A and B are shown apart, each in its own frame.
Chain A
Amino acid sequence: MSILVDRNTRLLVQGVTGREGEFHTRQMLEYGTQVVAGVTPGKGGQFACDGRVPVFDTVREAVDATGANTSVIFVPAPFAPDAIIEAADAGLPLVVCITEGIPVNEMIRVKAYLDMKGVRLVGPNCPGLLTPGEAKVGIMPGHIATPGPVGVVSRSGTLTYEVVYPLTMNGIGQTTCIGIGGDPIIGTRFVDVLSLFEQDPATQVVVLLGEIGGNDEEVAARFIAERMTKPVVAFIAGRTAPPGKRMGHAGAIIEGGTGTAAEKIAALEAAGVRVAEHPEQIAEIVAGIL
């Protein structure tokens, strides 16, 4: 079992003929993901990835022809909001946006629109999802993960890999690994994913990787205390970050004494979450629980 993506995922890639899009589409195909279509306006009728992926001009045409049920977006930031809305309008229930650098004000409108339509967005500015052995949607390296009982949710890309890899090396597999993205406005938050993992019978332990900025981790802590029966292990990046400086991710800035690692760690610990001192400790703690 898993959440959001699995062997039944029929994936459509928006921006499939771009450099990043084509590279990662090959990786997803190699992993065994069913990539059924690509979309690049103006290139309808062509094929991408050595003839393996038919390309359409619009998402609607791609869905009608192939029965795609999930989209992953690699188009550049200026065009990504359009791509997300197009996917939602074509009736896809799950849209994953890898693109980074989308203006916040643009995302506010996009998110409000998707909420209205009842479409789930993962990202933007995220590495996507990986259900080991079944489907890879996005850019996570497939070989670092293996099937098993741990659900992983993270605001960061490479930090996710840093935690998943030692889990795998220690023989602890994952149900699904999901990167929700580092931007201030994101489609899916920690609580949404925690709720899905809580309902997923195969997930026994959840790993949550947060970072400074915002208060999503505090909201997650409240949810864990009130609603979760499964154990949660966490790590918060940025304990040593100076306030007022943006640490790469647009969301990772500490302002006015809120959003610090210390506050997040305190909230999570109060909710019964075990918080690791550094990323590699996660595997040890999870092994102890299992």
Chain B
Amino acid sequence: MKLHEYQSKRIFAQYGIPIPEGEVATTPQEARAIAKRLGGPVAVKSQVLVGGRGKAGGIKLARSPEEAEEVAAQILSLQIKGLPVRKVLVDRAADIRQEIYLGIVVDRLASRPVMMASSEGGVEIEEVARTNPEAIKKVHIDPFVGLRAYQTLWLAKSIGLPPALHRDFGRIAQGLYRAFGECDASLAEINPLVVTGEGALLALDGKMVLDDNGLFRHPDLAALRDIDEETDSERAAREAGLSFVQLDGEIGCMVNGAGLAMATMDIIQHFGGMPANFLDIGGGARADRVAAALRLILADPRVKTILFNIFGGITRCDEVARGIIAVLDEVRPNLPIVARLVGTNEAEGRQILETSGYRIVTAITLAEAAQKAVAAARGAT
């Protein structure tokens, strides 16, 4: 789960990381009032969960409360990468002398967190990794001994930070590591961390991504989820316990297992079709999930056919087939369906589907199922 900049920075502040004074506004008038209260120039920053806000015109400087109102009005009318801007953060503008990068992610290969710092702040770290990888300095953190002072000192020195700032940099790095661990984050990033005209360090922008698997033990953080940023289908999927990603093809896919769901998308394209979605209904093909998944697929008007690919294994296919029919009786889709069920009693499962009265074609192999789905989608055009 991604957090907004303002949410991330508020968390950072709780861990002793200095952030600019600021508040969130949802209207231009509120932005003006905040700017007036702060006094002096402010930065008005769109709060949407995508990168590239600056390039899209979503971050602007204002020298007066009037100007803050004006630019807030512009920014609040923007759509950035398809997401409407509903909130802006109005921060006291900083006097920036230098921009650096500081972040923590999980290094999968090393199986531990890695802290990264770079003298090239203010640009995406992925961009620096491509163009100037030597500029990124890394330290791995042992989970049993934590981040040590010598490591943060080494980072500070290797990115050329002046000695007067080493101690503050160390405190910020420790705060970021604690925030990362205690919030069950998979990413915590300050970009840029700036050196101000007064010679202090300030976290100008922040980003956190929380590990969805850790949210169960952080109800306070789970409550930060911004449901405005989810599409209706993503929200419905999350609430039903499904893994769902909307794509733009015409074949709706319902599959058990993430790897098989991806392979099903791949084979549809291999045979010249386009999947409408990634959808993993999880183990056992439970009737309530199948129903929720079917509604999700049917909510997409581009879908011309539905492909069920259920590798039951131990699961009894006759039961899965009866579950599918019960859901069809309830949802009543008017689309051709291709179904492939593999597992115990699969022949009985196929027979139940074929004699159900619905437009269901069955298949035995995955390739056969994909080809039939591609043909059905074309026939329905």
Contact = CB atoms under 8 A, between A and B. Distances in A.
Interface of A: 27, 77-78, 101-106, 108-109, 111-112, 139-141, 143-144, 154-162, 165-166, 182, 184-185, 209, 211-212, 214-216, 219, 235, 237-242, 245-252, 255-257, 277-280
10 contacts: A78-B216, A143-B344, A155-B259, A157-B260, A159-B259, A211-B259, A215-B109, A241-B265, A242-B247, A250-B211
Nearest to A166: B365
B190 interface: no
A108 B113 contact: yes
A112 B130 CA distance: 30
Given A160-B259, A185-B108, A279-B263, 7 more contacts: A104-B106, A112-B111, A139-B313, A141-B343, A158-B313, A159-B259, A161-B342
A102 B213 contact: yes
Contacts of A238: 262, 265-266
B366 A103 contact: no
Given A104-B186, A108-B113, A141-B343, A247 B262 contact: yes
A184 B113 CA distance: 12
A82 B263 CA distance: 34
A56 B201 CA distance: 56
Contacts of A162: 260, 263, 311, 366
Contact of A249 (B129, B184, B258, B313): B258
B243 interface: yes
Contact of A257 (B126, B245, B267, B342): B126
A235 B266 CA distance: 11
Interface centre among A27, A166, A184, A214 (most CB of B within 10 A): A184
A248 B262 CA distance: 9
B278 interface: yes
Nearest to B259: A156
A237 B213 contact: no
Contacts, number: 169
Contacts of A154: 259
Given A102-B213, A242-B247, A112 B143 contact: yes
Nearest to A143: B344
B214 interface: yes
Given A141-B313, A278-B263, A156 B111 contact: no
Nearest to A218: B109
Interface string B81-117: 0000000000000000000000000101101110000
A279 B126 contact: no
Contact of B313 (A106, A144, A184, A246): A144
Contacts of A140: 313
B269 A239 contact: yes
Interface of B: 106, 108-109, 111-113, 126, 129-130, 142-144, 181, 184-186, 211-214, 216-217, 243, 245, 247, 255-263, 265-270, 275, 278, 280, 283, 311-314, 342-344, 365-367, 370
Given A112-B143, A144-B313, A185-B108, A103 B184 contact: yes
Nearest to B311: A158
B181 A239 contact: no
B123 to A, nearest CB: 13
Closest 5 CB pairs of A and B: A156-B259, A248-B258, A158-B257, A141-B313, A256-B126
B342 A185 contact: no
Contact of A209 (B186, B259, B283, B366): B259
Contacts of A280: 365-367
Given A162-B263, A245-B245, A278 B366 contact: yes
Contacts of A112: 111-112, 142-144
B257 A156 contact: yes
A165 B260 CA distance: 13
Contacts of B266: 237-240, 278
A172 B373 CA distance: 29
